Amino acid sequence: MGIPHHPLNALRPLSENELVEWEEAYTAVEAYLRALRLRNRLLVAELVRGVLWRASARRVHEPHRAARELAMEEILSEIADWTQDVLDVPLANRRLSSRGRLALLLAGMPDKWQGVFLTPPPWPEEFVEAMRDSYIAAGPQFAELTMVPQPLEFNLIGSGAAQWYETMNRKPIVRSLFLLLLAAAALFVAWFFFLE
């Protein structure tokens, strides 16, 4: 494995609250790696262990910060730095964007290249080429569109309804007569059904 060995005699006893807090950090980092579709449990465990050791070292200087927050910062930073090195392209704010995560998946990292993930160079040339090609393919492809307004086309019923609506709006007397006729028809129908 590419992660340095940390001896067990460097461990110090942890309180129950600290154990719970570091377990939450472990779970968060593991879930993130699983979201990247890493399936090898040994590899995931080793990566999480290395991240937690670095977060623990940072915690000495930043005791007010949560372990989970430090651990997630570490894994995000490590993946972004590694991806930037593989792609040889600077990432904005040293952050792995959705484009970078998509490039990892398109390059087949979870299936063919799990053993290469987060390792130092040299990387297999096929992997580097696949990453670069998929990073370019994952980029935004803008197409220039022009929209010209077109008149609405109605069928026979739609055209008749549109003309009727315009007539009703322009001539209030016709509208009043139509509404009166409609009310009379409704009264006639109601009277006819109630008498029977």
Residue 184 pLDDT greater than 90, yes or no = yes
The structure tokens listed for 55 are 């977060």
Mean pLDDT over residues 60-73, rounded? 88
How confident is the model at residue 96, as a pLDDT?
Answer: 63
Contact 83, 119 (CB under 8 A): no
pLDDT band at 40 (very low <50, low <70, confident <90, very high): confident
Where does the pLDDT of residue 143 fall: very low under 50, low under 70, confident under 90, or very high at 90 and above? low
Q: What is the pLDDT of residue 79?
A: 80
Report the alpha-carbon distance of residue 81 to residue 91 in Å, rounded: 8
- Can you read off the two tokens belonging to residue 150? 């077109």
Give kind and range of the element (H or E) at residue 55.
helix 41-61
For residue 90, cis peptide bond before it (omega within 30 degrees of 0): no
pLDDT score at 3 = 47
Q: For residues 132 and 176, which has the higher predicted lDDT (pLDDT)?
A: 176
What's the pLDDT score for residue 151? 74
**What gap in Å lies between CA 100 and CA 162, rounded to an integer?**
53
Instruction: Look at residue 52 and tell me whether its pLDDT is greater than 80.
Output: yes
pLDDT single digits (tens) 6-29:
554 444 556 778 788 888 999 999
Q: Evaluate if residue 130 carries a pLDDT over 50.
A: yes
Contacts of 141 (CB under 8 A, 6+ apart): none
- What lies within 8 Å, CB to CB, of 24 at 6+ separation is 67, 68
